[in-house]
Amino acid sequence: MRKILAIETSCDETACALINEELKIETSIVTSQIDVHARFGGVIPEVASRMHVEQISTIVSAALEGHSMDEVTAIAYTIGPGLIGSLHVGAAAAKTLAFFYDKPLIGVHHLKGHIFVNELLGPLEYPLLALVVSGGHTELVYLKDEDSFEILGTTLDDAIGEAYDKVARIIGLEYPGGPKIDKLAKEGKPIYHLPTPKVKGLDFSFSGLKNATLQTVERMRREGKEVDIADLASSFQEVALHHLLDKTLKVLEEKEVRHVLIAGGVAANSRLRELMSEHIKDRKLTLPPLKYCTDNAVMIGVAAFKELKHKRFVPLDAPSRSSLSIVSED
Ligand code: KG4
Ligand code: ZN
């Protein structure tokens, strides 16, 4: 049975997993640097890479515990996009293992990992529409088949996760704010009027909504009124998520789509999952398991099997890329 050892270090999680060709997860280790970054209110790239350096050997050894390198067919790692210093640490570890044990090396696009991890729940059907929503991305990706990627829409300013994290900071919640707003919004009602982003076509925008939320808080504080942060969280979330939903439904009106899935950290959002289930009833819908929404190495392993199938390996001197399109890779 073929197995892939996968490493992910694109942002603030150091992760390693061993997965087999039946997509059974033999081991999966994820350590998050969240506690450290929370002190700074966001990810500090220099701190992130230093912490990856401190963690990587322990995490890889832990993922290999009870296994031997003889079992491993190939080594996979996230080649981009992400924080360049963080990417380098995972790349160096993967390349060292590939060189020392003479294994093929697979460079995986981070977003392909987020998308293909949904295969853990069953085969994907094409044409497929993936709503990729994370701290760094907001994209509607159309896949005619598993090898053709088209970006139908993207954010013109902030990514959705970034907007969640900034709004959370405004109302005094720690980084990462997404999960905290998700929880808090359940206790509130969307009573504050916040503007729906107006963007033509299939693109997104979140900075106007973020600024309007900030201004609402500032105005109320100036007027000596108390802000109900649960109501504010709910108001922000309803507008932000309906913006995502509206564009997704627009694609379904315009294009042939058999399967819809969501991917990335914000795919863990309970209200987004509810809205998608309520509105997408006439085609296959997949919502990824919560623990595989935020960054992990299992997703890199699952996507790597597609590269292995076509023997798409990368050389030991392959450069990591802080920005890397999912559409055209060289
Ligand atoms: O995919 P991910 O781990 O990292 C990137 O590739 O960016 O996504 C992290 C983002 C953060 O902005 C975090 O606040 C957001 O996902 N997030 C959520 C939830 N869980 C994580 N946003 C909204 N609701 C959640 N439940
Ligand atoms: Zn991610």
- Whether 179 shows a pLDDT value over 90: the answer reads yes
Q: Is the CB of 153 under 6 A from ligand 1?
A: no
Q: What is the DSSP letter of 222?
A: H
In a domain, 263, yes or no: no
The per-residue pLDDT for range 48-71, each reduced to its tens digit, is 999 999 999 999 999 999 999 999
193 and 302 assigned to the same domain:
no
Range with the poorest average pLDDT among 40-49, 65-74, 83-92, 175-184? 40-49
CA distance 20 to 305: 9
For residue 121, what are its two tokens? 């729940």
Same-domain status, 93 and 112: yes
Total-model pTM:
0.96
Beta strands in the chain (DSSP E): 3-8, 13-20, 25-32, 74-80, 105-109, 128-133, 138-143, 149-154, 259-263, 284-286
Q: 104 and 170 share a domain?
A: no
Does some domain include residue 33? yes
CA of 44 to the centre of ligand 2 (A): 16
Does any ligand 1 atom lie closer than 6 A to the CB of residue 165? yes
**Index of the ligand 1 atom closest to the CA of residue 110:** 6
Label residues 117-150 b or e (16+ Cβ within 10 Å = b): bbbbeeebebebbbbbbbbbbbbbbbbeebeebe
Clarify whether residues 253 and 149 are in a common domain: yes
Q: Mark whether 134 and 241 lie in a shared domain.
A: yes
User: Is 141 part of a structural domain of the chain?
Assistant: yes
Tell me which residue of 107, 53, 27 sits closest to 75, measured CA to CA: 107
Q: Within this chain, do residues 136 and 216 fall inside the same structural domain, yes or no?
A: yes
Instruction: Give the CATH number of the domain where residue 36 resides.
Output: 3.30.420.40
Statement to judge: residues 188 and 98 lie in one domain: no
Range of the domain at 45: 3-116+292-309
Tell whether 9 and 33 lie within a shared domain.
yes
What residues contact 49, with CB distance under 8 A and at least 6 apart? 83, 85, 86, 88, 89
Kindly give, in sequence order, each residue whose CB lies less than 8 Å from that of residue 310, ignoring residues fewer than 6 positions away. Answer: none
Counting atoms of ligand 1 from 1, which one is nearest the CA of 175?
Answer: 14
Which tens digit of pLDDT belongs to each residue from 18-32?
999 999 999 999 998
* 190 and 220 assigned to the same domain: yes
- Residue written as token pair 């094409």: 126
How remote is the CA of residue 162 from the centroid of ligand 1, in Å? 8
138 and 106 in a common domain: no
Domains held by the chain: number? 2
Residue 144 and residue 202 share a domain: yes
Same domain, 150 and 38: no
